[in-house]
């Protein structure tokens, strides 16, 4: 099998993992890595037995597919350069800073016939993948993503940093256009929003409450989907999936009769590896990614509306 020539633009914390996965995949050749820090590019190149680049324009001349793992403010510029060169692109989330930038990337990818996948990693979480098999018609979704304070990544709003993961998952579960959004949020530690809650109501009647915080006392990552006849709950932290089936009858006290089953995640898995294998599979087969550029754009649109509502409330 011909190996796909790959590169990574931006090898900070997350880009480092992208480079290592490409290095280890049987059907890819990691041609090189770029970073604005020459020392960092050299460090990761040495680790991955590849070539460091000090100009990403030189890297994209030598590859077929690329991961863009730069700060979000550079996604549009770098993405447009890569797409103009005819490369398939794995773009970290969020896809861009603005909807106009996202629209331009999506349009150029379509024009050039290029794959554009957006890195909403939780779509490849083994718990989410296992849950999908049991979904019927979701009625109400509750999602909580609470992190302890960490200075890394606090240069962006918590909605774009954390909540956008769950917005994307909820969109994929609800399978309906969004009707209304109601929000609450506050800046507590940083100058931008640190804790936020959004109520999402979809046109098909499904609704969701999603909360994100980066100032919690302990980490909590959980999503619960209520549907006719029961519910499904995924606890990312404990790696536990709970299926609850509700019987039509009540017990002697008048309570619903429920039976619950706990299952561990089907396997520990490697979500980044699964995501990149999916990307390379799409590159090879010319198939549409699970999280396409348009899907990433729709998640961004909801996230930006949440951000703007909270800003208006804060004055």
The phi, psi pair for 125, rounded to 5°, reads -65, 130
Residue 49, class by beta-carbon neighbours within 10 Å (0-12 exposed, 13-18 middle, 19+ buried)?
exposed
What is the Cα–Cα distance from 90 to 104, expressed in whole angstroms? 16
CATH C-level class of 125-267+302-314: alpha beta
* Alpha carbons 229 and 251: distance in angstroms, whole number: 16
Average pLDDT of the chain to the nearest whole number: 93
Rounded CA gap, 65 and 72, in Å?
19
Q: What pLDDT band is residue 153 in, cutting at 50, 70 and 90?
A: low
pLDDT digits 0-9 by tens, 241-300: 999 888 777 777 777 777 888 877 776 679 999 999 999 999 999 999 999 999 999 999
Q: Which residues of the chain does CATH 3.30.360.10 include?
A: 125-267+302-314
Instruction: Please check the confidence at residue 314 and state whether its pLDDT lies above 90.
Output: no
Q: Give me the pLDDT at residue 253, please.
A: 79
- CATH 3.60.70.12 is the classification of domain 4-114: no
State pLDDT tens for residues 20-38: 999 999 999 999 999 999 9
Q: Where in the chain is the domain with CATH 3.40.50.720?
A: 4-114
pLDDT digits (tens, 9 = 90+) for 172-214: 999 999 999 999 999 998 888 999 999 999 999 999 999 999 9
């Amino acid at each position: 099998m011909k190996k796909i020539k790959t590169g990574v633009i931006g090898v900070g914390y997350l880009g480092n993992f992208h480079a290592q996965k490409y290095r280890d995949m049987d059907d890819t050749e990691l041609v090189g890595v770029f970073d604005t820090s020459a020392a960092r590019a050299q460090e990761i190149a040495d680790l991955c037995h590849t070539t460091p680049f000090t100009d990403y324009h030189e890297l994209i001349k030598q590859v077929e597919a690329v991961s863009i793992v730069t700060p979000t403010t550079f996604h549009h510029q770098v993405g447009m350069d890569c797409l103009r060169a005819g490369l398939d692109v794995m773009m970290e989330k969020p896809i861009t800073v603005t909807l106009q930038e996202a629209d331009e990337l999506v349009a150029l990818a379509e024009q050039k016939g290029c794959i554009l996948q957006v890195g909403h990693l939780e779509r490849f979480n083994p718990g989410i993948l296992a849950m999908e098999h049991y979904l019927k018609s979701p009625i109400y979704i509750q999602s909580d993503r609470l992190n302890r304070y960490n200075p890394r990544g606090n240069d962006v709003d918590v909605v774009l940093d954390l909540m956008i993961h769950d917005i994307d998952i909820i969109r994929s579960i609800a399978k309906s256009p969004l009707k209304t959004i109601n929000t609450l949020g506050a800046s507590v530690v940083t100058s931008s929003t640190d804790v936020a809650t959004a109520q999402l109501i979809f046109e098909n009647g499904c609704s969701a409450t999603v909360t994100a915080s980066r100032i919690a006392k302990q980490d909590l990552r959980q999503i619960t989907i209520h549907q006719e006849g029961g519910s499904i709950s995924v606890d990312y932290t404990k790696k536990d999936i709970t299926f609850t089936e509700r019987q039509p009858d009540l017990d002697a006290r008048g309570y619903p009769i429920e039976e619950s089953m706990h299952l561990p995640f089907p396997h520990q898995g490697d979500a980044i590896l699964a995501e990149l294998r999916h990307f390379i599979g799409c590159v090879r087969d010319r198939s549409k990614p699970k999280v396409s550029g348009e899907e990433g754009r729709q998640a961004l649109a909801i996230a930006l509306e949440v951000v703007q509502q909270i800003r208006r409330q804060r004055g």
